Structure 1
Amino acid sequence: MTDYAIGDIQGCYDRLRDVLASVDFSPSRDRLWVAGDLINRGPSSLATLRYLEGLGDATKVVLGNHDLHLLAVALGGHSPKKKDTLHDILEAPDCDRLLHWLRQQKLCVHDAGRNLMMTHAGLPHIWNVDQAVAYAREVEAVIQGSDADEYFSQMYGNKPERWCDTLSGMDRWRVITNYFTRMRFIADDGSLELTAKESADSAPEGYAPWFSYPRQDDVQVIFGHWAAIEGDTGSDRFIGLDTGCVWGGALTLMNLDTGEKVHCDCS
């Protein structure tokens, strides 16, 4: 059995199948870790979602901001954005089943045996691994529970900017969500800057890429979300797998046993 991890697919179903075929991926033997943003902006969001849902136990998935956006449209009363490619999912006869499956996915996956964590946007330096897992499970319970409609109706926003243990309710859920699914630049005190989306060396004053801060552990982190850095973090510990497939870049698949990466050109 081989474990592979893949970056932001964003509905690029054909490229997903191409890159999996290049390593002879078999769900009866192998396992696929997906670093969020399964769908949206690409041409085949429905096919992608159906395929990943159909993998069953052969996949580990974390939710990205685009996946949460689909749920916010479906459950929270929000309208699709102009460039969204969610219509086929929302109109599909199996929409309810697919959305239910999506709601069961995690905000972070932690494999203690590998000393490995996967989230969509990364792992802030202000949280240790146990804290991150606990906070993720809090929000996952909300997404899966009776408060989901309230959560998705109020999910969007950049406030609070910084984590505090005393936060409660929607403020607490929103900032946890932002760390896991939207973070790029962060300040030393944990404050998030959520408007800048360019390369790592273009940090606004007082901020830096989240992966540039020292940590008190040696956990390895797999993430997506930040296409502008093209996977380059300058560290073997922090593995960026969003290489901009939906923007004409590449879809990147990594063998978690060997570290080897395979790229499928999406131009």
Structure 2
Amino acid sequence: MKSISFQGNISIQDLSKKGINLNLEFKLSDDQYVRNILPLRIQNFEIKRLEWRDFIGKPDDQSPWIAHCYWNNSYEYYFAQDKEQFNYREQSPLRLPRIPLQQINQVNQLNIKTENVRTASVNKIKRLPTPNISNSPQRTISRSNSSSALRKQSPNVPKIKLSVKCKFLEKSWAKQKKDELLLEHETGHYLIGCLSALEFKKKVESSDVIKSNNHQQQIRNIFKQNLKEYIQIEKDYDEETNHFKDVEKQKMWNKKLKEQLLLYQCYFNH
């Protein structure tokens, strides 16, 4: 059996680097449904368990799709020692629509419009200027050395605090609300968005953005690059599962998605 393309962005090694030594046993093989570990809370990040009643948007009767899941990611950040704040808002790039769920053999005949998108992500940033360290006795040293010296002298060095969200949008719709395998597949799209938000949080918090004079641009670049990667993962997900019709591949994706969620839970909650 061929493996799936998505091997994840967090591993046991990432836990070890944080000093987390856990004997993790992911009991996944007996459970084909990723929804059975939901809802899930990772710090203040909430992942909901989707049901068909959540797909309340008006279906597009002219669309060949059976169902469509929309989500968006947002985030805000601040530095632990800062008080004054201001907000910044930006619309992220949008993705093209995914391939329809039914009539897969007619894909080439479809007139796909670029305004139909799954992901409409918005950055909501609470940002502060770099904390002033001009009174540091090491101020004549280079910036990187000054930051290092300050860390050694004081445990109260400013740290970036990042809050992320992945919201399932109410415009998500379904023509058919009975098929559990289809619901599992649509949940997978939402969870890929959740993993995208969690990986973005991990990347920012493990970066040296605290040293940057332009936090806004650096974090924005990390967000855009990370979103681009997960949009590709969404495309791979549809192609490899044949839009949930390849049952074995769907199970493999379910297992990997669950594994990644549990690893992020351990990473952020310990």
TM-score range, shorter chain: under 0.3
Greater helix share, 1 or 2? 2
Max radius of gyration: which structure? 2
Greater relative contact order (Cα < 8 A, sep 6+): 2
Instruction: With the length of structure 2 as denominator, give the TM-score of the two structures.
Output: 0.24
